[in-house]
Structure formats: C-alpha cells, structure tokens
Amino acid sequence: MKTDVIVIGAGFAGLSAAISLADKGFKVIVLEKNEIAGGRARFYQEQGFTFDMGPSWYWMPDVFENFFNKFGKKASDYYTLKRLDPSYRVFFGKDDFLDIPAAMEEIYKLFESHEPGSAEKLKAFLEQAAYKYKVGINDLVYKPSRSVTEFLDPKLLFDMLRMDIFQSFSGHIRKFFKNDKLLRLIEFPILFLGATPENTPALYSLMNYADISLGTWYPEGGMHKIIEGMLSLAEEKGVEVLTGQEVKEFQIEQKSIKQVKTTTATYTADIIVAGADYHHVDQHILQEEYRNYTPAYWDKRVMAPSSLLYYLGVNNKLENLQHHNLFFDRDFGPHAKEIYETPQWPTDPLFYVSVTSKTDDTVAPEGHENVFLLMPVAPGLQDDENLREKYYQVMMYRLEEITGQSIKEHVIYKRSYAHADFKKDYHAFKGNAYGLANTLMQTAILKPGLKNKKLKNLYYTGQLTVPGPGVPPSLISGIVVADEVEKEFKLV
C-alpha cells in the first residue's frame, strides 16, 4: 500500500499529527498496535462499568477548543463538557479535607480562611501565572525546539525573563504562601509534569492558572469521548486508522525509510511520524546506526512516574467522595524521594481516587460506583501481583478509614494495572505512565528532538518529545510535528 505519511500510534499525539497532516493535504494512515485507538487514553467495559484507562483530568479546555477550531470544528461538535464544582477534594486526614470550588470568589474566601491576606496574594500569583500561561501555551509550546534561534526573538526573550524559567517552583510559591495546606494545594498540579516542585521551573505556575482559573471539566461519557471525537474528525479528513498493526521494522534506503513492516503487512510511505513511545522507536525499531540516542542517554533521562492503577466496580453508592479526590494525608517528601531519588515502592504513599459515576450515570450500573485508584510510583521497578495487592490493601484501608465507610466488601470487579502492563500495551520505557518529566534540563531544545538526525523522513511526536507529558501537550505535539513535516515536504 502506498501513502504519503504513516503515523505510528493512535494516541492523542499520533491522532493529532494525522489530522493536522491530512488537513494540509497529505494522505495519511495510522498504524496502531492495540485493538482500539486512544493509547494511554483507551477505555474498556466490563460488567456494566466503563473505565477510562488513563487520563481523567480535563484541564486547559482552550487547548482542546483551539485544536478543533483549527479544523473548522468545535469540541462540542464531538462531545459535551461539564464543569465540575467542586473541581476536586483534597483529604488531609479523617474529617479534614478541602473542596476546591469552581467560582473564583469562593476560592479567594477559602484561601483567606486558611491564611489571612492570602486572597490578595493568590490574585497576584494568578496574575503572573496567567501571563505565563498566555505566553507559554499560546507561543512557547508551539515551538518545534529544533534550534536555539527559535528563541532569539527580543520580545520572546523579554517574555521568558519574566517567566521564572530558572527559578524553582517550590521557592516561587513560598514567596506567596505559608500555610501548609495551601502550599500542598498549589503544588499538586506540578505532579502532572512528572517532577518534584523543587526540580520544576517556576514557569509551570501556569498549571495553577489552568487549575484554579480555567477549571476542571469532564466530557460526558468519559475521557475516551475526546478520542472518539478525534477519530470522527480523522475520518472526515480521510485518515485511515488501522488497529492491530504493530510496527516491527523499517526498511531503509539512502537515508530514508522506504517501508514500514508490521506484524502482518508492509506499507510504503514518503514520511513517517512516530507517535509510539520515542525510546521504543529509537532503541527497538530502528537499526543501531540510525538511532538518535544511545542507551546511556536514555538511562540518564528523568522519566515521569509510572503508576499502580486499580479499576474497581463497587455495588453500592459511596459517601464523602467527589469525582476527583486526592489523598494528601501523608507528607509527599518521602514518597517523592522514593519516586525520583532512590527509586523503590513507597513506604507511605499518596494516592488519587476518581469516582466518575459521581458525575456520570452511564459509567456504572444504577446504584453502583465506578472507582479508579492511582498511586504514582517510580518507573523501572519490579512489578508483580503480590506487590500490587499489598498497595491495594494500603489504599483501601486509608480510603475506608478517611471516608468512614466499608468499601472493600462491595468491590464486585477489580483489575490492577502497572509497569508490566505499560510495557506490554505501549512499549513504555521502564513502564512509564506519563513520558518524560518536565525538568529544567529536559525543557524545549533539551528534550529528545522531534526529527531523526540521520534519516530524512522520520519524525517523532508524543509525550517523550516537545512540548511534554499530558493530554493538551500531546495534542500540541501532533500539530507542531505536522507543521515541521509541511515545511520540509511541501506538497506540490
């Protein structure tokens, strides 16, 4: 089969690249290893429950809207969004929690009640964060980061100086707030970036603007509705998405990939965009002489955490839980060390619980709850059923204790997911869940580059290259790579 472009992987980044390229006039096919599209954002159904397998927080609605607008569409053409209020609940202990309201006035009151004077400080903090978001999300993240010269624009340099790129997030927020609960609340969105607040540039307070000012949303039916929307748009653009097609090998001639071989077929194309995990394509599909990086390079990368997940079906309605619940009833310091500094299974972990059936009747049978447990854990660890079960008991004990109800005996469906599954399902390097961490030394041009240095027609997209991990950055990554392909392979 002959096509202009082959995109490898039907995750957010691959689909975004495929749609963007088809919109520019390229003929595109997507080859996806799994039986359904969506990558880490796949879903499955079991015993009347519908489980989103990965992302559950819909943040930065403007990025999704801009994505669909680019193709003359609106997000609402494909799915219906609901703003969550409260956005989420943070537990600090039994009968000790904060609900984060959607309305700004309520948030200011909440801050003031914990630290007098902090409402004004939050206003000032968010004003800076809004500026960073505007420059960061509307401009910087769309840079392909192939050369420093992209950043040598006097206005951009001036903007970047104001964006605290060289200051740590941790130090930055402590100039504004002192109260421990408020600090933990403000630090929480940084966990999405896969690094500690100490190792994350203060630029990323833009995440607080996303959290507090832009809010937490939910696409009715679940996060996979976004993928379904993208698949419809891809089809409208003439993209063909072929599932069950694991790419195994490239046939290379004169510094160009000529053929892509999957487990069952061979495809010919002019351009290849790899949306599968970068490390897997670089180290396991490409022959050694065409690799961008060495094994030593990859070993030195700071990967974002892996996760231990549990998908649970519960046969009664649960009390005292919201749609999103963060269990911050332990100090994050030791858990963070066990993720980043001395990788090991945590001694006393923090975890997250999502109960989507609190918002959505369609994801669980009547009178039941759909529960998702997530515990961040270092990548590259030993993973077996006994370890998983041990942490299930830890999380369940605290969940029951803190919310004051028995849950375990009501669990009628239970499935675990961790390192071994991330490797098997996505070829994830060290079983990572969220790609490459957004540390200062892994920002922009310091990330694995989006073009192969030795082959003329191989590009990369997704959460291990620019701009970084998370659903919105993955969408942007696909747009950025498509623009680069267009620049170098103009259609005649």
Ligand X SMILES: Cc1cc2nc3c(=O)[nH]c(=O)nc-3n(C[C@H](O)[C@H](O)[C@H](O)COP(=O)(O)OP(=O)(O)OC[C@H]3O[C@@H](n4cnc5c(N)ncnc54)[C@H](O)[C@@H]3O)c2cc1C
Single residue of 5, 6, 14, 371 touching ligand X by CB under 6 A:
14
* Nearest residue (CB) to ligand X, 305 versus 313: 305
Distance CA 86, CA 102 (A): 6
Single residue of 5, 22, 28, 31 touching ligand X by CB under 6 A:
31
Q: Applying CB under 6 A, which part among 39-47, 62-70, 159-167, 249-257 lies near ligand X?
A: 39-47
* Nearest residue (CB) to ligand X, 98 versus 433: 433
Q: Is 210 in the site for ligand X (CB under 6 A)?
A: no
Closest CA to 233 of 348, 445, 68: 68
Single residue of 26, 54, 91, 322 touching ligand X by CB under 6 A:
54
Peptide bond into 86 cis (omega under 30): yes
Minimum distance from residue 13 beta carbon to ligand X (Å): 3
**DSSP code per residue over 248-310:** EEEEEETTEEEEEEESS-EEEEEEEEE-S-HHHIIIIIS-GGG-SS-HHHHHHS-BPPEEEEE
Distance CA 403, CA 89 (A): 12
3-state helix, strand, coil in the chain (%, to 5): 45, 20, 35
Single residue of 202, 257, 309, 436 touching ligand X by CB under 6 A:
309
DSSP helix/strand/coil, 223: coil
Q: Applying CB under 6 A, which part among 68-76, 87-95, 437-445, 462-470 lies near ligand X?
A: 462-470
DSSP 162: T
Q: Is 282 in the site for ligand X (CB under 6 A)?
A: no
Single residue of 84, 474, 480, 482 touching ligand X by CB under 6 A:
474
Minimum distance from residue 195 beta carbon to ligand X (Å): 14
Under 8 Å between Cβ of 316 and 368: yes
* Nearest residue (CB) to ligand X, 34 versus 315: 34
* Nearest residue (CB) to ligand X, 115 versus 277: 277
Single residue of 6, 13, 126, 444 touching ligand X by CB under 6 A:
13
Single residue of 215, 222, 467, 469 touching ligand X by CB under 6 A:
469
Minimum distance from residue 353 beta carbon to ligand X (Å): 13
Strands 369-377 and 351-355: antiparallel
Site for ligand X in 240-259 (CB under 6 A): 246-247
Minimum distance from residue 149 beta carbon to ligand X (Å): 27
What is the four-CA torsion angle of 429, 340, 377, 338, rounded to 10 degrees? 140
Minimum distance from residue 72 beta carbon to ligand X (Å): 23
Closest CA to 41 of 53, 49, 25: 53
x/- contact string, 310-349, with ligand X (CB under 6 A)? ----------------------------------------
Peptide bond into 219 cis (omega under 30): no
Name the packing angle between helices 471-488 and 12-23 (round to 10°). 40
What tokens does 298 get? 């990859």
Amino acid identity for residue 51 in this structure? F
Distance CA 134, CA 126 (A): 12
Q: Is 467 in the site for ligand X (CB under 6 A)?
A: no
Minimum distance from residue 18 beta carbon to ligand X (Å): 11
Radius of gyration of the chain (CA): 22
x/- contact string, 411-450, with ligand X (CB under 6 A)? ---------------xx-----xxx---------------
x/- contact string, 373-392, with ligand X (CB under 6 A)? -x------------------
Contacts of 406 (CB under 8 A, 6+ apart): 400
Binding interface with ligand X (CB under 6 A) = 8-14, 31-34, 39-41, 54-57, 246-247, 275-277, 280, 307, 309, 374, 426-427, 433-435, 462-463, 469-471, 474
